[in-house]
């Protein structure tokens, strides 16, 4: 191993070259004190070194490295045309362009910040000192001291932390204290932690029945039971909308398929997102292009969302399964946080 700087966070790291015989491509295996252990192809390494982007541009990639490493897997960064081969083992394929272009939901950061703080108090009392390090901030997609300071100032103003002190050594040794109000919010956010239910929002036209089954199969393979509002007992006491809202609230995430451009899907996806429930967006590919489906093209306000733009039911099942594994299962909390 040779001492070097991490290709993503520029922290201290060690690397060694790997040939196609061991990884399926030529590149490097890297051990970084922030990003953990990852593999990177020569092409992706060259892209990082020549892109000219500021380091903050790669905060998504750094957070992805940390999340995958904590799941005891190995992020493996390769170009879009490359594939893993041989003994893949714990390697998880990732592509830099795909990850850096994912939107950062800054409004989610305060709650994510509080939940991470709470996870550090598993073996302590709820009002003990919480200590954050640089890796913690990167995992929240916070890479600069000024941003960290602004978020903590906001949390104190809103009554979620009683006091804080920003660390002087690259955000290491930052300390803070949670309040009762913070614990109320945190525990409310974990209301669906033990559920294995997912909700499907989609058009129920007959020609999409195979698509519905593909969504359910992908969820099942990933360990989730996917339901729609028409599944189970249809003898509703209240309005159908009440049943939809109840089922969304009971679900760990929502799959929203916008094929046929149904208004109800926009409502259900928006409601789930507003409640902090993850939404995975899918749509038939021709709806993205708006060529073959006059009047069914996606609303322009939603075209910047990263959709799974499927070609057929089989394509949808494969890509949705991969998305659930990467986005939902990779980040699902593994234990309940309590006082």
- 159 vs 236, higher pLDDT: 159
Residue 333 has pLDDT above 60, yes or no: no
Structure tokens belonging to residue 278: 């993850």
Work out the average pLDDT over 264-284.
Answer: 90
Q: What is the CATH number of domain 197-329?
A: 3.40.50.450
Q: Are 198 and 255 in contact (CB under 8 A)?
A: yes
| Residues sharing a CB contact under 8 Å with residue 137, sequence separation 6 or more, in sequence order | 143, 148, 171, 174
- Predicted pLDDT of residue 207: 85
Residue 317 has pLDDT above 80, yes or no: yes
CA distances 66 to 9, 74, 149, 229, 236, Å, are 11, 10, 22, 37, 44
Residue 246 has pLDDT above 90, yes or no: no
- Predicted pLDDT of residue 23: 62
Work out the average pLDDT over 124-139.
Answer: 95
pLDDT tens-digit series, residues 68-126: 888 888 999 998 877 766 566 788 889 898 898 888 889 989 999 999 999 999 889 99
Where are the CATH 1.10.10.10 domain residues in the chain? 106-189
pLDDT tens-digit series, residues 254-263: 999 999 888 8
Work out the average pLDDT over 317-334.
Answer: 80
Where are the CATH 3.40.50.450 domain residues in the chain? 197-329
Secondary structure letter of residue 25 according to DSSP: S
- Predicted pLDDT of residue 339: 33
pLDDT class of 287 with cuts at 50, 70, 90: confident
Q: Are 243 and 229 in contact (CB under 8 A)?
A: yes
Lowest mean pLDDT among 31-35, 161-165, 285-289: 285-289
What's the topology of domain 106-189? Arc Repressor Mutant, subunit A (1.10.10)
Q: Are 321 and 222 in contact (CB under 8 A)?
A: yes
* Cα 27 to Cα 223: distance, rounded to the nearest angstrom: 33
CA 129 to chain centre: 28
Return mean pLDDT, the chain: 85
Please count the helices (runs of H) and the strands (runs of E) in the chain: 13, 14
* Cα 168 to Cα 174: distance, rounded to the nearest angstrom: 8
Give the torsion through C-alpha atoms of 212, 213, 218, 219, to 10 deg.
70
Residue 21 has pLDDT above 80, yes or no: no
- 230 vs 320, higher pLDDT: 320
Residues found in the chain: 339
């Amino acid at each position: 191993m040779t001492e070097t700087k991490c290709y993503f966070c520029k922290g201290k790291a060690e690397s060694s070259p790997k040939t196609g015989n061991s990884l399926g491509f030529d590149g490097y295996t890297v051990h970084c004190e922030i990003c953990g252990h990852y593999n990177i192809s020569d092409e992706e390494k060259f892209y990082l070194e020549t892109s000219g982007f500021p380091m903050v541009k790669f905060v998504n990639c750094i957070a992805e490295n940390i999340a995958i490493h904590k799941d005891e897997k190995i992020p493996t960064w390769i170009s879009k045309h490359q594939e893993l081969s041989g003994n893949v083992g714990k390697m998880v394929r990732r592509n830099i362009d795909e990850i850096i272009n994912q939107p950062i939901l800054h409004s989610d950061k305060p709650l994510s910040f509080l939940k991470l703080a709470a996870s550090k108090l598993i073996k302590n009392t709820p009002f003990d000192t919480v200590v954050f390090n640089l890796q913690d901030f990167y995992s929240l997609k916070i890479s600069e001291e000024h941003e960290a300071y602004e978020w903590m100032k906001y949390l104190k103003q809103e009554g979620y932390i009683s006091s804080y002190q920003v660390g002087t050594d690259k955000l290491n040794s930052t300390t803070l204290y949670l309040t009762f109000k913070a614990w109320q919010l945190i525990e409310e956010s974990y209301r669906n932690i033990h559920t294995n239910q997912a909700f499907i929002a989609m058009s129920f036209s007959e020609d999409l029945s195979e698509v519905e089954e593909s969504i359910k199969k992908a969820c099942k393979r990933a360990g989730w039971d996917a339901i729609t509002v028409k599944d189970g007992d249809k003898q509703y006491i209240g309005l159908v909308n009440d049943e939809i809202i109840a089922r969304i609230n009971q679900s760990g995430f929502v799959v929203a398929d916008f094929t046929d451009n149904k208004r109800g899907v926009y409502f259900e996806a928006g409601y789930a997102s507003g409640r902090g429930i993850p939404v995975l967006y899918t749509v038939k590919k021709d709806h993205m292009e708006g060529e073959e489906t006059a009047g069914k093209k996606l609303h322009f306000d939603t075209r910047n969302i990263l959709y799974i733009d499927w070609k057929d039911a089989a394509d949808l099942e494969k890509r949705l399964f991969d998305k659930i594994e990467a986005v939902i299962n990779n980040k699902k909390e593994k234990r309940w946080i309590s006082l």
